[in-house]
Structure 1
Amino acid sequence: MEQKQATSDRMRACKSKNSSIELALRRALWAEGYRYRINYAKLPGKPDIVLSKPKIVIFCDGEFWHGKDWERRKHDFKANKEFWISKVERTMQRDIETTEKLQTLGWMVLRFWESDINKRLQYCLTTIRNAIESRSEREEVFN
């Protein structure tokens, strides 16, 4: 019973908004001069960060919940295996559906893993900067 409670407490502590990785990426974007909306409910999937003018949405995905290295890691579960596997796989499917909906609406979707934000923040910023520049160039061509 203690194990069940400990697992429950750990899972409850996971935040869906204002996580440390979101805050780190948002601070870095702000320092670079980018302004954005957060957890924008008017778009499918309620993106973590929205850059409105270039129509770019950014998701900060935790490795466990969003299934990084899933084929290898899904065998690591010790308890309640079926529940966790179906939960994570449904999240992965929802991520695909959300990305497709946003792209259909004309948004560019960027997804960063937690480890990339923590260990390679500059890479994430460069990717975002390049996406903004490519969207700006495309906009100039069509105007």
Structure 2
Amino acid sequence: MTDSPVSAARSRTMRAIAKKNTKPEIRVRCRLHALGYRFRLHRSDLPGTPDIVLPRHRVTIFVHGCFWHQHPGCRHATQPRTRQGYWLPKLERNVARDRAAAAALEALGWRVVVLWECELDSDAHIDTVLNNFI
């Protein structure tokens, strides 16, 4: 049985979602650079492969999409209506993996910052969060 056109289009859409260099991530990187911070990207030698790493300050930054990482209380963190047997465990694994990566980083002496996609509307907000944490 072949995929229906609807599921083929959905599959194409889902494959197009980037894991690295997303618009929210690039926005945070631009703000960090404007604030004078220098950083490394996607260090695979650290647990969870943080999106942004500031080695001098021992800070890691994860820029999470609200849906994929199930931001608590966010209107973008909706539950899928179809194929819940597949999606709900997948999203739960994402959340569990995020918690484990943060705990492992903290055990290694790194500070962990999580920025949510929905919170990145204002440059002033991004600057405040980054300056307060770093």
Which amino acid is 1:22 matched to? E
Aligned to 2:20: 17
1:73 aligned residue (78, 81, 91): 78
Q: What secondary structure, in the 3-state scheme, does the structure 1 residue paired with 2:81 have?
A: coil
Aligned to 1:26: 29
Unaligned runs of 5+ in 2: none
d(CA) in 2 for partners of 1:103, 1:57: 10
Aligned to 1:116: 119
Report matched runs for 1:1-143 at 5 Å.
Answer: 1-69=4-72, 73-74=78-79, 77-117=80-120, 119-132=121-134
Poorly superposed stretches of 4+, deviation over 3 Å: 69-72
Unaligned runs of 5+ in 1: 133-143
d(CA) in 2 for partners of 1:84, 1:70: 18
d(CA) in 2 for partners of 1:37, 1:22: 13
d(CA) in 1 for partners of 2:42, 2:49: 5
Instruction: From the superposition, tell whether residues 26 and 103 of structure 1 become closer, same or farther in structure 2 (CA, over 3 Å).
Output: same
1:49-97 CA-to-partner distances (Å, cap 9, x unmatched) read: 00101100000000111012479732xx232111011111100000000
Which amino acid is 1:6 matched to? A
Q: What value does the CA root-mean-square deviation take over the aligned residues?
A: 1.6
**TM-score when normalising by structure 2:** 0.89
Count of equivalent residues: 129
Aligned to 1:140: none
The structure whose residues are more often helix, as a share, is 1
Measured after TM superposition, the shift of residue 124 of structure 1 is 2.3
**TM-score when normalising by structure 1:** 0.84
d(CA) in 2 for partners of 1:125, 1:40: 23
